[in-house]
């Protein structure tokens, strides 16, 4: 029975989020640390190298790791303050079970594991294997991601496992795979510096991937032209050569319009297209009607901007495409990305130094997490769960019958729709906070409340964990060991820095303990994450994301290894597609024609304004971690509604007024931030907050038919000046979703 066991204020009082500002030992402590450990930041797909200082088994500070080649010591504010999580008073230190009306009480590990195992057995017996679902995070190590996939398919034998990368990279992944054959950035980031023209589409790099700005600026110093597409003038857009304030959902207008002009003016590489690609004729036919004038109507920008973009990108000596959630979070997210990648392949500028393509991963292990088999449609090594050969390979690695491996299951949002329809009856969730991060929050809450049993593994009691029957205290990145795969495709080593506090356990141990109670115990008899990694290497062998030749020792020696790395003496593959060899069986890139279509919900008379959402640099994903770090909360304490002065005037709103944003699904009331740096037909709200301050009260559950990513970046709202809100949550602290 997954309902709140007591009131939100009482839960917050005990479990937070509270802000924690002071490091272990206090600010004035000048003690010499016991040791300094080289590891990586736990946030975002950049996975910067960092050194953590340890004293008495606690992380007490950091020192930049200037030799790590990706970031050379650079860090964003989240990286600087990440160490404050370890000794946080909100940390979960014992297993908990819900007590109706009171909240949670401490329980012991055996009771928590036995109760969960019993619930799994009962639900699966009564409603079938697929009625119990597993939901995971994309911030897990590769080892944990692999283990979760095995846990679902071998121990629970459920098809229904998916992960929160479904909110992040899946559109980029699907598009890249369709055209280029691999789901991975084509180039290492060092190639960005050498490019002469860079197109940044829907990527607020300054807030979401700050380290990447230095790569852009280095290219600019060396003479590169930079084009940015975004409805908001972001900090990188301010100083680039061409900023195109595209309307949200209009990107295909820009891409197809640019290609139209490039074909007309002869700025495509017909030799490359003939030798190394298929399907260009249909793309050429498709973009014929995308004249700059027609494209400008779709994109909502002057035609001259599209022509100018083509003039910069078309004849460039070398070029680099970067994109992220701005074009991916759409019901046509895959098509948006494909239209963008078409531009890269049409010029033949890929697979060489300074020329290529990369999608910017948002989550810590967004890249690796989708390779190891915790997606509902994939087995490890990027294998297709419906492909008989791929299934056979995994059956051999796992020592099970091929027929026992479940088929394709439901994606993250579909899982909640199934829970709402009472088809999913129980769920185990690890490091995912849907009660902030999923769209249409009222529906998601109803879906969770309909679960008969809900267990959560996390290190803080997230907004979602409040609904759990059993809460298992898990581990922070620095309390475990394993690998992640950065946005570049570089597999890196997170070292264990300290032990989990109290009775908290490493997540992989919790999963193995649970698996031993519900499935074949011998298949989860791992004694270390390194053992799991060694099985993962075998599992991925021969797959697209081949990790077989990667060992932890090689990672340490080389400061990371890029996949594919098929043999032990192979150095890894930083740059894909060299020599025009693509990853499809025919070795060619497969162009994909793309027609523009409207969003699931376009503005209309009733809801005339486009709402778009995104991030701020101080917070990470649902804020479950960063809304507890005092310095980061101070930097951006609460969400706000960005609007242009012209819109503000129309709505009679002045700076600091409260505005109510209302969609067909729900509403939120926030303070207005009036800025000229946003399109006058859009409003923007950052999404890291819960409850009444959640922009996801308003966003829509519509998903891309291929990637199943939700359309976070566009829905129709009305906005009106409002009195100060009087809801129950106003008095909470800002980090908890209040307005003080």
Bridge partners (DSSP) of residue 659 are: 670, 721
Of 81 and 537, CB closest to other proteins: 81
| The one segment of 35-43, 66-74, 277-285, 500-508 that binds other proteins by CB under 8 A | 66-74
Q: How far is the CB of 607 from other proteins (least distance, A)?
A: 21
Of 32 and 274, CB closest to other proteins: 32
Burial class (CB in 10 A: 0-12, 13-18, 19+), 85: buried
Q: How far is the CB of 302 from other proteins (least distance, A)?
A: 5
Burial class (CB in 10 A: 0-12, 13-18, 19+), 36: middle
Q: How far is the CB of 246 from other proteins (least distance, A)?
A: 10
Q: How far is the CB of 50 from other proteins (least distance, A)?
A: 10
CB contact at 8 A, 81 and 632: yes
Q: What are phi and psi of 69, to 5 degrees?
A: -65, -25
Of 194 and 537, CB closest to other proteins: 194
Q: What are phi and psi of 446, to 5 degrees?
A: -60, -40
What tokens were used for 50?
Answer: 């960092």
Q: Where are the beta strands (DSSP E) in 108-203?
A: 132-136, 161-163, 197-201
Among 218, 278, 558, 667, binds other proteins (CB under 8 A): 218
User: Which CA distances in Å does 637 have to 1, 460, 627, 733, 739?
Assistant: 33, 19, 8, 9, 9
State the Rg of the chain over Cα.
24
Q: How far is the CB of 479 from other proteins (least distance, A)?
A: 21
Footprint on residues 69-98 left by other proteins (CB under 8 A): 71, 73-77, 79-81
Footprint on residues 292-311 left by other proteins (CB under 8 A): 293, 296-297, 300-304
What tokens were used for 728?
Answer: 């129950």
Q: How far is the CB of 678 from other proteins (least distance, A)?
A: 6
| The one segment of 98-106, 417-425, 441-449, 674-682 that binds other proteins by CB under 8 A | 674-682
CB contact at 8 A, 552 and 561: no
The terminus-to-terminus CA distance of the chain in angstroms comes to: 33
Sign of CA dihedral 468, 471, 477, 482: negative
Among 213, 291, 528, 558, binds other proteins (CB under 8 A): 213
Q: How far is the CB of 24 from other proteins (least distance, A)?
A: 12
Of 87 and 214, CB closest to other proteins: 214
CB contact at 8 A, 485 and 572: no
Among 239, 387, 396, 404, binds other proteins (CB under 8 A): 239
Of 326 and 564, CB closest to other proteins: 326
Angle at 206 between CA 677 and CA 597, to 5 degrees: 65
Footprint on residues 677-736 left by other proteins (CB under 8 A): 677-680
DSSP-based three-state secondary structure for 169: coil
Q: How far is the CB of 717 from other proteins (least distance, A)?
A: 19
Place of tokens 């946080």: 88
Of 217 and 658, CB closest to other proteins: 217
Position 249 contacts other proteins (CB under 8 A): no
Among 132, 146, 243, 582, binds other proteins (CB under 8 A): 243
How many Cβ atoms are within 10 Å of 3's Cβ, its own excluded?
A: 15
**Within 13 A of 223's CA, how many CA atoms are on the CB side?**
6
Of 256 and 707, CB closest to other proteins: 256
Binding mask 13-42 for other proteins (x = CB under 8 A): ---------xx---xxxx------------
DSSP-based three-state secondary structure for 267: coil
CB contact at 8 A, 490 and 561: yes
Of 290 and 472, CB closest to other proteins: 290
Q: Which residues are near other proteins by CB under 8 A?
A: 22-23, 27-30, 61-62, 64, 66, 71, 73-77, 79-81, 206-207, 210-211, 213-214, 217-218, 220-221, 231-239, 243, 245, 293, 296-297, 300-304, 617-618, 631-632, 635, 644-646, 655, 673-680
């Amino acid at each position: 029975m997954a309902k709140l066991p007591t009131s939100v204020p009482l839960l917050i009082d005990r479990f937070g989020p509270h802000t924690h500002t002071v490091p272990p030992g206090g600010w004035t402590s000048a003690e010499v640390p016991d040791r300094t450990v080289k590891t990586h930041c736990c946030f975002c797909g950049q996975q910067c190298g960092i050194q953590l200082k340890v004293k008495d088994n606690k992380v007490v500070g950091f020192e930049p790791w200037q030799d790590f080649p990706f970031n050379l010591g650079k860090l964003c504010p989240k990286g600087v303050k990440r160490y404050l999580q370890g000794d946080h008073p909100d940390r979960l230190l014992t297993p908990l079970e819900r007590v109706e009306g009171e909240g949670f009480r401490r329980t012991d590990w055996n009771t928590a594991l036995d109760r969960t195992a019993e619930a799994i057995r009962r639900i699966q017996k009564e409603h079938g294997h697929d009625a119990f679902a597993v939901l995971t995070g994309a911030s897990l190590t590769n080892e944990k991601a692999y283990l979760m996939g095995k846990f679902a398919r071998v121990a629970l034998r459920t098809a229904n496992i998916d992960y929160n990368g479904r909110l992040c990279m899946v559109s980029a992944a699907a598009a890249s795979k369709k055209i280029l054959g691999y789901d991975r950035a084509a180039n290492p980031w060092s190639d960005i510096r050498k490019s002469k023209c860079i197109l940044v589409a829907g990527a607020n790099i300054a807030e979401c991937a700050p380290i990447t700005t230095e790569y852009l600026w280095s290219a600019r110093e060396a003479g590169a032209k930079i084009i940015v597409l975004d409805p908001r003038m972001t900090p990188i857009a301010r100083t680039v050569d061409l900023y195109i304030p595209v309307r949200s959902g209009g990107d295909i207008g820009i891409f197809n319009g640019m290609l139209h002009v490039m074909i007309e003016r002869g700025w495509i590489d017909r030799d490359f297209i003939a030798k190394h690609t298929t399907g260009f004729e249909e793309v050429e036919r498709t973009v014929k009607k995308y004249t700059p004038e027609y494209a400008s109507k779709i994109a909502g920008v002057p035609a001259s901007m599209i022509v100018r973009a083509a003039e910069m990108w078309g004849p460039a000596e070398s070029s680099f495409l970067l994109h992220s959630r701005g074009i991916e979070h759409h019901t046509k997210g895959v098509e948006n990305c494909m239209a963008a990648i078409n531009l890269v392949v049409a010029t033949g500028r890929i697979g060489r130094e300074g020329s290529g393509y990369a999608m910017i991963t948002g989550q810590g292990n967004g890249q690796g997490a989708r390779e190891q088999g915790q997606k509902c449609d994939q087995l490890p090594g990027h294998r297709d769960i419906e492909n008989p050969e791929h299934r056979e390979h995994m059956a051999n690695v796992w020592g099970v019958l091929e027929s026992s491996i479940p088929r394709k299951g439901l994606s993250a949002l579909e899982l909640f729709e199934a829970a709402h329809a009472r088809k999913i009856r129980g769920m185990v969730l690890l490091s995912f906070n849907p009660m902030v991060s999923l769209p249409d929050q009222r529906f998601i809450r109803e879906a969770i409340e309909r679960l008969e049993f809900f267990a959560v593994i996390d290190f803080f009691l997230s907004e979602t964990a409040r609904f759990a029957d059993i809460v298992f205290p898990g581990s922070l990145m620095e309390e475990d060991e394993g690998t992640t795969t950065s946005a570049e495709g570089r597999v890196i080593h997170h070292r264990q820095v300290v032990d989990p506090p109290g009775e908290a356990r490493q997540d992989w141990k919790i999963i193995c303990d649970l698996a031993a109670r519900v499935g074949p115990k011998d298949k989860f008899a791992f004694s270390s994450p390194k053992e799991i990694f060694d099985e993962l290497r075998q599992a991925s062998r021969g797959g697209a994301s081949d990790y077989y030749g990667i060992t932890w020792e090689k990672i340490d020696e080389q400061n990371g290894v890029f996949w594919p790395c098929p043999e032990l003496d192979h150095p890894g593959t930083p740059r894909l597609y060299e020599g025009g060899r693509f990853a499809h069986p025919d070795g060619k890139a497969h162009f994909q024609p793309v027609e523009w279509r409207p969003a699931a919900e376009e503005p209309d008379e009733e809801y005339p304004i486009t709402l778009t959402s995104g991030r701020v640099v101080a917070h990470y994903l649902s804020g479950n971690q960063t809304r507890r770090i005092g310095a980061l909360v101070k930097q951006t304490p609460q969400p706000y509604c960005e609007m242009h002065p012209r819109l503000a005037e129309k709505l009679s709103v002045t700076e600091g007024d409260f505005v109510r944003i209302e969609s067909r699904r729900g509403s939120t009331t926030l303070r207005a931030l009036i800025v000229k740096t946003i399109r006058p037909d859009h409003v923007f709200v950052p999404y890291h907050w819960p409850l009444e301050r959640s922009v996801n009260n308003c966003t829509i559950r519509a998903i891309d038919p291929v990637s199943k990513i939700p359309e976070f970046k566009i829905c129709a709202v009305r906005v009106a000046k409002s009195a100060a809100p009087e809801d129950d949550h106003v008095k909470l602290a800002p980090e908890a979703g209040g307005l003080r």
